[in-house]
Structure 1
Amino acid sequence: MKIKVAVLFGGESVEHEVSIISAKQAMEALDTEKYEIIPIYISKSRDLYCGEELRDLTQYKDMDALLAKVPQVVLVKKNQTVTIEPVKKGLFTKAINTIDVVVPVVHGTNGEDGTLQGYLEMLKIPYAGCDVVAAAVGQDKVVMKHMFETAKLPITPWFWFYGHEFEDKKDEYLNKAKELGYPLVLKPACLGSSVGIVIAHNEEEFIEGVEEAGTFDFKIVVEKMVDNLREINCSVLGSCFSAKASVLEEVGKNDEILSYKDKYQGGGSKGAKSQGSKGMASTTRIVPAPVSEEQTKKIQELALEAFHLLGSSGVCRIDFMMNGKTDEIMINEINTIPGSLAFYLWSPVDVDFTALMDELIRIALERHRKKEKMTFSYDTNLLQNYSESGSKGAKGSKS
């Protein structure tokens, strides 16, 4: 019997279209001999839709027409089974399908940040990728950097603040910026795909950058820009129980930092076979990265340490910054659901995209089995003896 795999994608995020492309690639990579593939699209208004038409990218050119063809659905937990049911029901309406495991390919806000993971936890269904805490930390650059600092992992000098406080504390933050030294990189704390990122070379550009980044998030991260920047990435596959690091890539860029256009409208790979796909896989990159064996080993070790520190699971991509002159290496961030699931970093070590998807599903099912053996609650008869008269709870009761 085939395993029923629901692939969730879309979502209310600036990375909505990226998610659709990534999910298309993931579904094509799944082995149809092993799995029954169920596409579930999350619209920008957070409604769920299910139907085979969702696997055809050309259908998305007319979104209204597409959503008129496929039913809006809800996920319903019945005992130990999760079913997909249409929102509009008739007298003889039946469930569309059941789900054995979920593969989330939802990038950014309300998908990659623990929100969707919490929903799946409530449904008590196995799902691939990071759990609620790891996903949330991986999305919030402020919390992530504090964790990296505490663990003494190398990061570039930085500070952060709430955007709404800037006007009242402008001098304080401008002084901090001056002390850090221009140029500086300003980022929304909880966004991805290089959206909302600004480079400030002076005070005027810093103030403009605060306004730009602040339109995407309440929290703004400010980082010292790395001189002679080289961007090196490493993927990690596994869980807290066992994990391995991929080969490295060096990502090309046309601007001072890797932009959204570089990531998703790039010029393709160098030093690796073309994958024939779009999305992050189309970025100009060199695989393996032209760095020394010693640097490769150090980056791989740091990637595994960051992955383990967050309690990550599935496949992640950890992005690094290297000073091209001094070779100093710093962790930039972890991507818990990387574009294209970083399949291009595993192909050189004979883990093709299909094998990668197999491993993601295996890890998801294994983690679920381990959690099922854990104790989260226990039976008590507290409410059987409960009385409203004179009861103030354990802390408020008198002896």
Structure 2
Amino acid sequence: MGIRVGVFFGGRSVEHEISIISAIQAINALDKTKYDSIPVYITREDALYTGEDIARIEAYRNIPELLKKSQRVLCVPRGGVCDLLKYPFKRFGNPRYASLDIAFPIVHGTNVEDGGLQGFLKTLSIPFVGCDVTASAVGMDKYIQKTVLKDNNIPVLDCRRFFVKTYFQDTRRILAEIEGALPYPLIVKPLNLGSSIGISKANTTGELQSALEYTFQFTNTALVEKAVSNLKEINCAVLGDGDAAEASECEEPQSNGAILSYQDKYVSGPKGAGGTKGMSGAKRKLPADISGEQRETIRELAKKTFQVLGCHGVVRVDFLLDMAANQIWVNEVNTIPGSLAFYLWEPLGIPYRELLDRLITLAFKRERENANLSYSYKTDILSNFISGGAKGSKG
């Protein structure tokens, strides 16, 4: 029996479908001589299902029918492993469907990539691949992420953050505030989404208002920043932990418009890419068409960004490059990138199977290190507790 890897994917996110593609890619690439993969699909209603068909991409053409043929499960910790128990419970028979030695979250977007799923796995006391709760949350919140990076002298664009309730309470004031702080053209995007969902460009007050209201269809918080002229978008992945990190090859995504869209990433690549290849099938220049100096600057900035944010495993750092001014900014960090950015490692001689192996090894390393920490502090508070003493230190 190999190491039992529970691959968690799906979830209540607008990037639900992309997560399914990324996860099944990984399941198919795992080394079958070392690992037994158990797919765990998270529905949009947060129910967990597993079964043979859960790992088949064709089965997701009809999800209701797939769930009828699959087993709903609950996660229960047991002495360092996580049991998947069949649900609803039956009076007789073995309730255990499978046991997991490690969890591998391959999820994208809010409610799952933002620390939510990571926190759930942490309470189960099971090792899991990728960023911890804090790094996941900061990686998803673009405003906090920019603040942390700026405080560590990593170049980011100035921005403004706006909440949906404030905007609709005084739209005219918000529009005037933006125009007083940032010059056109502007980019408006959700604070906490990926896959280029909800993003648009504005050149006038009317377009700005439309852009904000479009973004607020997907999020309660919008980010506004200046659009970069003479733009090239460059992506670079980083693999490692706090001890050591290495950068991948750089790619240059290709777009059909002013900004890279969801369709550019997942739909308009080579025939069939949208259905089976996810981010790995998008149109790109690999390696990116940039100078050797720009490549090394970006790769060094990617590693610094990874370490400053306390990332773990593999992340993708997206950059904005003004070709005329030769200025580079970190745009955002993807703590669980589409397709796990495996295609950025292959040019450096790291095949997908090896990348997955290294990610699992890093997760077990973190678990061993965390095992040396103390999570208890002995006191006599409860043994000395008496009626009327419930005020604690303020009593």
Structure 1 residue runs of 5 or longer lacking an equivalent are none
Match of 1:243 among 242, 245, 255: 245
- Give a deviation string over 1:314-372, Cα, whole Å, max 9, x none: 10000000112222111100000000000000000110000000011000010011001
Aligned positions of 1:145-294 closer than 5 A: 145-179=146-180, 180-268=182-270, 278-294=277-293
Cα distance, 1:390 vs. partner? 5.2
Cα distance, 1:169 vs. partner? 3.7
Match for residue 44 of structure 1? 44
- Give a deviation string over 1:243-273, Cα, whole Å, max 9, x none: 100110011000101000000013349xxxx
- Give a deviation string over 1:56-80, Cα, whole Å, max 9, x none: 1111111111000001100011233
CA distance in 2, matches of 1:393, 1:55: 51
Contact in 1 for aligned 2:315/2:334 (Cα 8 Å): yes
CA RMSD of aligned residues (A): 1.6
Contact in 2 for aligned 1:177/1:184 (Cα 8 Å): no
CA distance in 2, matches of 1:100, 1:385: 39
Contact in 1 for aligned 2:240/2:362 (Cα 8 Å): yes
CA distance in 2, matches of 1:203, 1:3: 56
Structure 2 residue runs of 5 or longer lacking an equivalent are none
Cα distance, 1:241 vs. partner? 1.4
Contact in 1 for aligned 2:186/2:225 (Cα 8 Å): yes
Query: 2:96 is paired with a residue of what secondary structure?
Result: coil
Match for residue 133 of structure 1? 134
Match for residue 341 of structure 1? 340
Matched, 1:353 2:352: yes
- Using the size of structure 1 for normalisation, the TM-score is 0.95
Contact in 2 for aligned 1:184/1:222 (Cα 8 Å): yes
Matched, 1:120 2:124: no
CA distance in 1, matches of 2:390, 2:35: 54
Matched, 1:93 2:94: yes
Query: 1:340 is paired with a residue of what secondary structure?
Result: helix
CA distance in 2, matches of 1:389, 1:85: 42
Cα distance, 1:94 vs. partner? 3.0
CA distance in 2, matches of 1:193, 1:335: 10
Match for residue 82 of structure 1? 82
CA distance in 2, matches of 1:392, 1:380: 16
Match for residue 373 of structure 2? 374
CA distance in 2, matches of 1:41, 1:217: 24
Aligned positions of 1:315-334 closer than 5 A: 315-334=314-333
Cα distance, 1:161 vs. partner? 1.2
Residue 225 to residue 93, structure 1, CA distance change in 2 (3 Å): same
CA distance in 1, matches of 2:119, 2:34: 27
Number of equivalent positions:
391
Residue 75 to residue 175, structure 1, CA distance change in 2 (3 Å): same
Cα distance, 1:391 vs. partner? 5.4
Query: 1:295 is paired with a residue of what secondary structure?
Result: helix
- Give a deviation string over 1:77-131, Cα, whole Å, max 9, x none: 1233310011123211330111001110010011100000000000010000100
Identity percentage over the alignment?
43
- Give a deviation string over 1:170-220, Cα, whole Å, max 9, x none: 344323332311111111101110111111111001111111111211111
Contact in 2 for aligned 1:9/1:104 (Cα 8 Å): yes
Match for residue 2 of structure 2? 2
Query: 2:263 is paired with a residue of what secondary structure?
Result: helix
Query: 1:72 is paired with a residue of what secondary structure?
Result: strand
CA distance in 2, matches of 1:241, 1:11: 31
Residue 390 to residue 294, structure 1, CA distance change in 2 (3 Å): closer
Residue 393 to residue 297, structure 1, CA distance change in 2 (3 Å): same
| 2:12 aligned partner, one-letter code | E
Q: Which moved more, 1:139-148 or 1:13-22?
A: 139-148
| 1:44 aligned partner, one-letter code | R
Cα distance, 1:5 vs. partner? 0.3
CA distance in 2, matches of 1:35, 1:69: 24
| 1:120 aligned partner, one-letter code | L
Contact in 1 for aligned 2:200/2:259 (Cα 8 Å): no
Match for residue 15 of structure 2? 15
Query: 2:36 is paired with a residue of what secondary structure?
Result: strand
- Using the size of structure 2 for normalisation, the TM-score is 0.96
Contact in 1 for aligned 2:81/2:102 (Cα 8 Å): no
Contact in 2 for aligned 1:268/1:281 (Cα 8 Å): no
CA distance in 2, matches of 1:139, 1:282: 24
Cα distance, 1:154 vs. partner? 1.0
CA distance in 2, matches of 1:17, 1:143: 27
Query: 2:210 is paired with a residue of what secondary structure?
Result: helix
CA distance in 2, matches of 1:41, 1:277: 17
CA distance in 1, matches of 2:27, 2:78: 26
Contact in 2 for aligned 1:156/1:226 (Cα 8 Å): no
